[in-house]
Amino acid sequence: MIILVLNCGSSSIKFQLRDLSREAPLATGLVSEIGSPRAHFQWESRAGRWDDAAPDLSYREGLQRLLAAISSGEQRVIPSLAALDAVGHRVVHGGERFSDATLISDEVIAAIEAVSDLAPLHNPANLLGIEVCRELLPNTPQVAVFDTAFHQTLPAHAYLYALPYELYERHGVRRYGFHGTSHRYVTERAAALLGRTGRFISLHLGNGCSIAAVREGRSVDTSMGLTPLEGLVMGTRSGDIDPALVTFIAAKEGISASEVERLLNKQSGLLGLSQSTSDMRLLLEGAAAGDGACQRAVDLFCYRARKYIGAYAAAMGGVDALIFTGGIGENAPPIRATIVQGLEFLGISLDETANRDGKVRGQIHGPAATVPVLVIPTNEEGVIAEDTRRIVERC
C-alpha cells in the first residue's frame, strides 16, 4: 500500500510518500513559506534532490506541485496519482471526540472545525490541507490521525483543571496533551526492545517539548494541556507559568491578552531566556564558551524536565524505563546527561561513553542503573502511514 503522509502548517507542507512494504520512504519533502516571495519546494527521493524557488506559491499550488513531482516527469517515484492508496493527515487537535484515527468525511471535518478554537495555530491549517487534497484527489481515501488521541486514556484527576467544573462541561476546558503519535511510537518500541511493558516516561524534546507518563501502554499523564503551551520549556514557548502573569504582563507592557499569548508562544522559552536563539546546538556551544545567557537557558530547560520525571515517577509509583526522543532528545548528549543528574535515587544513571556516542540508538544507562534509559528516534510519519492503512482496510 502506498500512502502519502501530510503535515500541513499555516505556511508549510511537510510530506512523506511511503510504500508500506519498504522501511525507507519513497520521497520526503517540504513546501515552505507558502504565500511569500521566499516560498520554496524542497524534496528528495532515490532519483535525486531538488530545491526550487516558488515565489508567492499558494497552498493549493503547493499541493499540486507536490503531487506532480511524485507522479510525473523523470523524477517521479510512482507511475501516476492512481497508485496512491490513501492520504494520511496529521491533525493536531481532535478534542474528546477522537480517540483513534478516522476516515475523513464531512462530519469529521465539522468535528475538527468545532475544536479549532482549542488549536487556532494548527487545526485550520490541517483542515486546509484536507480540503485541498479532497479536491485534488477526490477518489483517494483520506484519514485523519490526531496528536491528542493517545492521551484520551488520561484519568479525570490528570486531565481536569481546578476550575469551575462548568467550564469543562460548556467549553471542554481540560488537558488534552499533544505529541501523542510520538509518545505512542517510542513507548511501543521501548516495550519491544525490553521485551516487556510497564511504567514508562517518554520525553519528546525538540522545538516543541512534552513528557508523558505511560503505564502498560496507556497514557496516564502528560505535560501539554488545553494547548501545546503548557509544560516543559520549549524553543519559543514558555511552558508552565503563573496564570496571573497574563494580566500582569498585559498591564505592565500595555499590550492585549492576545499579544501576551503570542509572546508566550513565539518569544519565550529558550529564545526568551537566552535572548539570542532557540537552537539547542547554538545554546550548548555558547554555554561551553562561557555565555551566561545560554547557560541560563540550558539549565532551566533541563531542570524543568528533571522535575517532571520525578513527578511522573511519583504519579505511577515508580518508573521502569526512561525514553528520550525528538531532535534534542536524540541528538544532544549533554542535555540527556544534565536532565538525569541527581536521579540516582530512582535508579536512573547513564553510561557516559554510550551517551556521548552521537550514533547511539538504544540503551544508554549505566551499569549501576536499575531503570533502562533509551534513545529512540521517533517516527510519527510511519505511525500515521500505518494508522492510515489500518483505517482504510477496516473501512
Which active-site residues does the annotation give?
147
Q: Which grid cell sits at 95?
A: 478534542
Helices (H), 207-343: 245-253, 257-266, 269-274, 280-288, 292-316, 326-331, 333-340
Residue with C-alpha cell 471535518?
109
Q: Which grid cell sits at 280?
A: 539547542
Phi, then psi, of 349 in degrees rounded to 5: -155, 160
Q: Are strands 102-103 and 13-19 parallel, antiparallel or unpaired?
A: unpaired
Tell me which residue of 111, 101, 102, 30 sits closest to 69, measured CA to CA: 30
Half-sphere CA count of 379, side-chain side, radius 13 A: 17
DSSP 290: T
Q: Which grid cell sits at 174?
A: 481540560
Contact 285, 297 (CB under 8 A): no
Contact 14, 20 (CB under 8 A): no
> Order of strands across the sheet with 321-325?
218-222, 209-215, 199-205, 321-325, 373-375, 362-363
Q: Which grid cell sits at 333?
A: 548528549
> Order of strands across the sheet with 27-32?
48-53, 40-45, 27-32, 13-19, 2-8, 86-91, 142-146, 102-103
Contact 100, 147 (CB under 8 A): no
Residue type (1 letter), 43: W
Q: How many residues does the chain have?
A: 395
